Amino acid sequence: MRYYNKTTILILLIPQTIKVWTVIIAKTNSNLKMNLGQIISTERKSRGFSQELLAENSGISLRTIQRIENNTSHPRPHTLKTIADVLQIEPAELAEKQHMNSEPETNLKSLSKINLINSSALIGLVIPFFNIIAAIIIWSINKSDAFVKEKGKKVISFQILWGIGVTLILSTTHIIYYLIMGKFMWGRLPIAMIIFALMVLTNVFLIIRTSTQLKKGNTEIYSFIPSLF
């Protein structure tokens, strides 16, 4: 029987974790997209119409209304105009709403990939340096998308600079303590470790905040960070 230590198990779980994140983010983003049937359904409900009442006032069969709203049937121009007249909305306005909601499909895919790159940095909380390594791996796989390539660089640059900052602070604090006390701070809880914990919390906060921004469609992430490559 083979035995694995905790680090080996965590490394083996990384591909599955990334796969799960990809599915969750993809499903979340797909729910943001509204098709024409959903738009008609929303407009109908906002005006207090039931499907039966809409069918009665428009002269369109209930079955057709249901098929349109379920997106299993696309309405003909005359049918769409009739529904729009009953709902007191211009057909062009319905078309515009559809465009506004369906246009970002490819953009949503890009945002989900960027969000995955950003969220993967949390692996660094468990495995050192994987906040950078995991982000670079996912970025490399998806960098054929120019938008993902650009924003992914921001995410990776932030994690690299964060890592450099943590290293400098820990090293500097130890050196200063050695110069003053004549010995290193082994076996204690020095102020450097407190600062390290605060920096980790800051990193986690910024990852979560950036993830929230991306889910809202805000692509101005890590604007204070220069791209290192």
Report the CATH number that the domain containing residue 78 is assigned in CATH: 1.10.260.40
What span, in angstroms and rounded, lies between the C-alpha atoms of 99 and 122?
35
What was the pLDDT predicted at 78? 84
Q: Please report whether residue 228 resides in a domain.
A: no
CA-CA-CA-CA torsion sign (72, 24, 42, 76): negative
Q: Please report whether residue 188 resides in a domain.
A: yes
96 and 157 within one domain: no
Q: Predicted confidence band at 183 (pLDDT cuts at 50, 70, 90)?
A: low
Q: Please report whether residue 116 resides in a domain.
A: yes
What span, in angstroms and rounded, lies between the C-alpha atoms of 218 and 211?
10
Q: Copy the structure tokens of residue 120.
A: 């993967």
Of 81, 102, 123, which residue constitutes the final position of a domain?
Answer: 102
pTM of the model: 0.53
211 and 111 within one domain: yes
114 and 57 within one domain: no
User: How many separate domains does the chain show?
Assistant: 2
Backbone φ and ψ of 87, nearest 5°:
-85, 0
Q: Return left, alpha or beta for 48; rule: phi > 0 is left, psi -120 to 50 is alpha, else beta.
A: left
Of 102, 134, 156, which residue constitutes the final position of a domain?
Answer: 102
121 and 85 within one domain: no
Q: Which of 82-91, 140-149, 158-167, 168-177 has the lowest mean pLDDT?
A: 168-177
97 and 50 within one domain: yes
Residue with tokens 């640059």: 157
Of 52, 86, 102, which residue constitutes the final position of a domain?
Answer: 102
The domain of 41 spans 36-102
Q: Please report whether residue 80 resides in a domain.
A: yes
114 and 42 within one domain: no
Q: Please report whether residue 12 resides in a domain.
A: no
Q: Which of 5-9, 37-41, 142-146, 220-224 has the lowest mean pLDDT?
A: 5-9
187 and 127 within one domain: yes
Q: Copy the structure tokens of residue 122.
A: 């949390």
Q: Return left, alpha or beta for 129; rule: phi > 0 is left, psi -120 to 50 is alpha, else beta.
A: left
175 and 137 within one domain: yes
111 and 57 within one domain: no
Q: Please report whether residue 190 resides in a domain.
A: yes
Q: Please report whether residue 7 resides in a domain.
A: no
98 and 119 within one domain: no
Q: Please report whether residue 20 resides in a domain.
A: no
90 and 43 within one domain: yes
C-beta neighbour count of 203 within 10 angstroms = 21
Q: Which of 39-43, 129-133, 190-194 has the lowest mean pLDDT?
A: 190-194
Q: Predicted confidence band at 80 (pLDDT cuts at 50, 70, 90)?
A: confident
What span, in angstroms and rounded, lies between the C-alpha atoms of 149 and 103?
21
Cβ neighbours of residue 217 closer than 8 Å, sequence gap 6 or more: 104, 111
Percentages helix, strand, coil for the chain (3-state, rounded to 5) are 75, 0, 25
111 and 181 within one domain: yes
Percent of the chain whose predicted confidence (pLDDT) is above 70: 71
